[in-house]
Amino acid sequence: MTDRPNVVWIFGDQHRAQALGCMGDANVHTPNIDALAADGVTFSRAVSGCPLCCPYRGSLLSGRYPHRAVPGHQMQLPPELLTVAQPFRAAGYHTAYFGKWHLDGYQERDGRAVFHRVPRPRRGGFDTWLGYENNNAQYDTWLHGHTGEEEVEQHRLERYETDALTDLLLRHVEERAADGAPFFAVLSAQPPHNPYVAPAEWMGRHTPEGVQLRPNVPAVDWVRERARRELAGYYGMIENLDWNVGRLMERLRARGLYDQTHIVFFSDHGDMHGSQGQFLKTSPWEEAMRVPFILGGGRRYEMKAGTRVNAPINHVDIGPTSLGLCDIEVPDWMPGTDYSHHRLRKVAAVEDPDSAYLQLVVPTGHGDSIDRPWRGVATRDNWKYVALEGQPWMLYNLNEDPYEQANLAFNTRYRSERHRLHERLAQWVDDTGDVFQLPQL
Phi, psi of 100 (to 5 degrees): -65, 130
Instruction: Please say if 53 is a catalytic residue.
Output: yes
* Contact partners, residue 397, CB within 8 Å, separation at least 6: 382, 383, 406, 408, 417
Q: At what angle do helices 31-38 and 221-254 cross, to 10 degrees?
A: 60
Q: What does the H/E/C string look like for 53-96?
A: HHHHHHHHHHCCCHHHCCCCCCCECCCCCCCCHHHHHHCCCEEE
From 22, 50, 53, 54, active-site residue: 53
Q: Which of 268, 217, 210, 197 is nearest to 403 (CA)?
A: 217
State which amino acid sits at residue 213: L
From 102, 116, 172, 422, the catalytic residue: 102
Sequence-distant (≥ 6) Cβ neighbours of residue 263 within 8 angstroms: 8, 10, 36, 40, 245, 248, 249, 294, 295, 296, 297
CA distances to 166, 211, 285, 366, 431 from 222, rounded to whole Å, are 36, 15, 20, 19, 43
For this structure, is 67 an active site residue? no
Q: Are 298 and 43 in contact (CB under 8 A)?
A: no
The answer to whether residues 261 and 5 touch, using CB atoms and an 8 Å cutoff, is: yes
Q: Name the residues annotated as catalytic.
A: 53, 102
